[in-house]
Every structure is written in structure tokens, then in C-alpha cells.
């Protein structure tokens, strides 16, 4: 606790392995195509922090922020369907994702 009424909480998580499976849609082309994409073996991290104010010992409100990132190694593959991609070489790529945001929360602790 920062003081009797203020509290700062933080959480950090590490992902030691990730697996990604996605589908790339090309719906506005003359011939609709779907590309299946996969990647794995990467990692990730999530960091979260919340600053809370206690109105009473049981009721608090808080504001926080969260950052989340995941990635794969550069050895993914891509498979085509509905477009005749047979014989095309696999497309090796690194996939990654980042998200962040803020949130508000209220908490009540029952005795």
C-alpha cells in the first residue's frame, strides 16, 4: 500500500511458448481465396498495473493499464485453399501481436 487509502498493484507474466493459427481472407477479389497461416515457438509478455483508492476498508475504485504482446519465431508457414496454391512454396514469416488499454474497476470485499 502507498498509504492507508491508496494501493498500487502490478502483475507481470511471461509466456515461454506461443502457437498461432490464422486465416487471411481475400473476399473482394474475383476469386475468393483463403490463406491459412501458422506459427509457433515464440513468446509473450503481459504487464498490468492498477492504482486503487479505498473509500472504506471494504470498498475501492481503481484505474489501471494493461500491455500484452505475443510473437512467433520466423519459421511459420502458409497454406492456400480455394485458389490452387498446390506446389507453391511455404511463406516463412514472423507473426506478432500487441494490445494495450486502460480500464476502471470497483471492488467490494465481503467480511
pLDDT in tens, the chain (111 residues): 788 999 999 999 999 998 888 777 777 777 777 777 777 788 999 999 999 999 999 999 999 999 999 998 866 555 555 555 555 555 667 788 999 999 999 999 998
The distance of Cα 11 from the centroid of its chain, to the nearest Å, equals 15
pLDDT of residue 60: 97
Report the C-alpha gap between 55 and 95 in whole angstroms: 44
Alpha-carbon dihedral sign for residues 23, 93, 69, 43: positive
Asked if 38 and 76 touch (Cβ cutoff 8 Å), the reply is yes
Question: What are the φ and ψ backbone dihedral angles of 84, each rounded to 5 degrees?
Answer: 70, 45
Amino acid at each position: 500500500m502507498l498509504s492507508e487509502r491508496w494501493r498500487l498493484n502490478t502483475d507481470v507474466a511471461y509466456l515461454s511458448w506461443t502457437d498461432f493459427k490464422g486465416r487471411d481472407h481475400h473476399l473482394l477479389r474475383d476469386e475468393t481465396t483463403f490463406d491459412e497461416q501458422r506459427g509457433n515457438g515464440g513468446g509473450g509478455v503481459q504487464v498490468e498495473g492498477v492504482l486503487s483508492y479505498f473509500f472504506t476498508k471494504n470498498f475501492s475504485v481503481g484505474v489501471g493499464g494493461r500491455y500484452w504482446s505475443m510473437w512467433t519465431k520466423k519459421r511459420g508457414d502458409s497454406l492456400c485453399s480455394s485458389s490452387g496454391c498446390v506446389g507453391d512454396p511455404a511463406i516463412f514469416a514472423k507473426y506478432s501481436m500487441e494490445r494495450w488499454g486502460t480500464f476502471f474497476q470497483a471492488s467490494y470485499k465481503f467480511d
